[in-house]
Structure 1
């Protein structure tokens, strides 16, 4: 079992492939679950098309949780991103996709544009990885990776972001409440599940950077994971996770943010002669990155009711 900080989720229960299979059958699980007279019955909506995007939502116990999947941005939208944000956008941006959590007095959303606005554009931002992993970077540059010079640009070309959602309410640092790991371990029907990609880039064939979201709603709570996954070949792996958790009937929304990274060779040694496709598996990489994370922050918002 992967070690976790006190109060930190082992996300394997949500992200491992064998565990995701039943989540993808959320409609069936919902049908099989028998709601008693004192339980709220969720209202689920699914609509849309490939041109305008697919929209699905759940209304449950005073909350509405929405996941919209839209097509990749067109050239005009990509030009607009570059003008507004000041950097060339990733190869694939799903700028019209969104995940939204809301009730009467709280709203939090996850959007590609807002995440990209937090990419470092300082004058030396492109040098950060070279400095932190100088030896690895030198070996990479010398090992017939002549195109690596094309990646050095006056912004963080890895599109790393510490984005934790867009919310008007102020989160406050606090040790309590925590994400209830034990509750999440209990078998519960999945009322609603979805996955969404906000942006992705192959870093000029030097790796991959992806910002994605997974969410699930159970009868007792909901859980959202936004994950930024970075692989720079022969240099490093990095994962920035934001988790949003709420137990229905309580007055708090909890947010936990973690950032972990390790040299590329650290993971290769763990993998040994195993399946190299694991290097593209963010869930597997996340389970192998060293603990504790370089950054761990727990915050909450108190709801009015």
Structure 2
């Protein structure tokens, strides 16, 4: 392992960039202020949808190695939100019984969020890369056993790209967590959706590289479960766990609605 070089530039007010350089890789995370009104108007104009309540459009996570770069940012993620004429009906149709019950039980505000765009802000964004990755049709290349080891963490950060409370009917969040160990690094971007009494949805993008291996991995999974199924697994436990993304993810059925595995050859 090469000697790690730690990065810290800027200020929280201007935008703070922190990161690490290790074994030819540079991983940085920038945190800045929430978008101002002009920036929110730009999102509305550019993408044809009112933006989420909180957008951190100047936050990003960047991974670089030689000529390869992949970046995660709110604008590119929001660009993939469905704005087709039928987008707002998809959850309503899939969960019509629960939706009707919720709407009629003194939750008239639910009707207000059914609009001509995907009001859940669901995105299947997997990062913006400057080169194509090749498909991996084999098993996962993420070494879970290695990640479970209690190796020292050289660099860790959490970053948020956007969040919305869905008119008090749940929550939609796009966040990133990253950790770098002496043996490998893992970056997890997660879109987490909870629509109360209706459903949970989790779209995960994992970037992984084990130092010494000649490939870099990107894996995407999408899972969805009925709200009541997850609620039943909680039993009489702490209801706040329904906001715990890791707990909800562990409670989701093993069946994955969609997955995509890719790799990139590296020196």
SS in 1 for 2:33: coil
Q: 2:212 and 2:247 mapped to 1: Cα distance?
A: 34
Equivalences for 1:1-305 in 2 at 5 Å?
Answer: 39-174=1-136, 175=138, 178-303=141-266, 305=267
CA deviation profile, 1:130-153 (whole Å, cap 9, x unmatched): 111111111111111011110001
1:47 to partner: Cα distance: 3.1
Do the aligned partners of residues 96 and 177 (structure 1) sit closer, same or farther apart at CA in structure 2, a change above 3 Å counting?
A: same
Query: What CA deviation, in whole Å up to 9, does each residue of 1:111-159 have, x standing for no partner?
Result: 0000000001111000000111111111111111011110001000000
SS in 1 for 2:254: coil
Q: What TM-score do you get using the length of structure 1 for normalisation?
A: 0.85
Let me know the Cα RMSD of the aligned residues.
1.1
- Structure 2 regions of 5+ residues with no counterpart? none
Deviations 1:162-187 (A, max 9, x none): 00000021122212661111221222
CA contact (8 A) 2:12 2:31 kept: no
**Cα pair 2:19 2:27 within 8 Å, conserved:** yes
**Larger strand share, 1 or 2:** 2
Provide the secondary structure at the position in 2 that maps to 1:219: coil
Aligned residues: 266
- Aligned position for 1:34: none
Partners of 1:173 and 1:255 lie apart in 2 by 10
Contact 1:169 1:301 in 2 (8 A): no
Q: Does the CA contact (< 8 Å) of 1:225 and 1:242 recur in 2?
A: yes
- Could you list the structure 1 runs, at least 4 aligned residues long, displaced by more than 3 angstroms after superposition: none
Q: Distance in 1 between matches of 2:64 and 2:94?
A: 40
CA shift digits 1:257-292 (9 cap, x unpaired):
111111111111111222111111111111101112
Following the alignment from structure 2 to structure 1, what is the Cα–Cα distance between the partners of residues 242 and 122? 18
Change (3 A) 1:128 1:177: closer
1-side partners of 2:145 and 2:11: how far apart?
A: 39
What does the per-residue CA deviation read over 1:17-55, in whole Å, with 9 as the maximum and x for residues that have no partner? xxxxxxxxxxxxxxxxxxxxxx31101022322321111
Alignment check: 8 A CA contact 1:62 1:104 kept: yes
Query: Comparing both chains, which one has the higher relative contact order based on Cα–Cα distances under 8 Å and sequence gaps of 6 or more?
Result: 1
